[in-house]
Amino acid sequence: MQDSQIPTELTEFKPEVGLILGSGLGFFADDRIEVAGRIPYGEMDGFPVSTVPGHVGQFVYGHLDGKRVICMQGRFHYYEGYTMQQLTMPIRLMAKVGVHTLFVTNAAGGINRSYTPGDFMLLSDHINFLGTNPLIGAHSGEGVRFPDMTAVYDADLRSIIRTWAATKGIELKEGVYLATTGPSFETPAEIRAFAHLGADAVGMSTVPEAIVARQLGLRVIGISCITNAAAGISQSLLTHEEVSETADRVRPQFAELLASSVALA
């Protein structure tokens, strides 16, 4: 993204922390942030727009517990037909305007049989099952060409968040997230295979954003809301409505977890 394409108000605001709000989780921007401004994606030249229900499609920026934050209230997905470069444009924008820590949230299906809908999982690692990588192509000169992925999700900050959750009596899972392209949900056979690979949860996002954030030197924290049991574990058909309903049910707990995590960053 060219500097000339970045809205002046974001450059002047200088956000410190970036937030990507996943399916059913966009309420956080309205409920918890002292909003300074909103910028619909459609008003930005060359920027993608959200096409999935539950993704409003705008940047919201303001203050949260003394931190200057910028939120994606609605993300982009590979299955919407966007290129990897398009769907990670917001991360490059955030880095350019001063963000140093990125919180990526998502709705995910639970593969680990100890997980139940409504649980939260800190990402300790991920498996890229998208069949591609957002860094493929000519190097733009931003960040390193071959970024190390040994520790994508910041271990020190995860430890601080786990300690906070324990003091509040919040059960916080920690595990490996596997990303597929979607938009179809996974088959039971695929879920069994993913379990053998070491995945605890599965979704259709997060990994491209995390890769680019690490390339650019941002600290990354990933938080999954386990909105359903994955295929073959669940006894019912999987629907996007179930995802949204579970996210809405745990709304207060999610808001407290994310707000407190940002304050600790």
Q: What residues are annotated to the active site?
A: 23, 55, 77, 79-80, 107, 204-205, 228, 240
SS3 168: coil
Q: Are 64 and 58 in contact (CB under 8 A)?
A: no
Amino acid at 199: A
CB atoms within 10 A of CB 206: 24
Q: What residue type is 201 in one-letter code?
A: A
- Please report where in the chains the tokens 């000519």 appear, as a residue: 138
Between helix 240-249 and helix 251-264 the angle, nearest 10°, is 70
Q: CA–CA distance from 163 to each of 15, 156, 227 (Å)?
A: 26, 11, 24
The residue among 107, 121, 212, 105 whose CA lies nearest residue 158 is: 121
**C-beta of residue 62 within 8 angstroms of C-beta of residue 36:** yes
CA distance 158 to 155: 5
| Distance in angstroms (rounded) separating the CA atoms of residues 103 and 130 | 21
Q: Please tell me what DSSP assigns to residue 231.
A: B
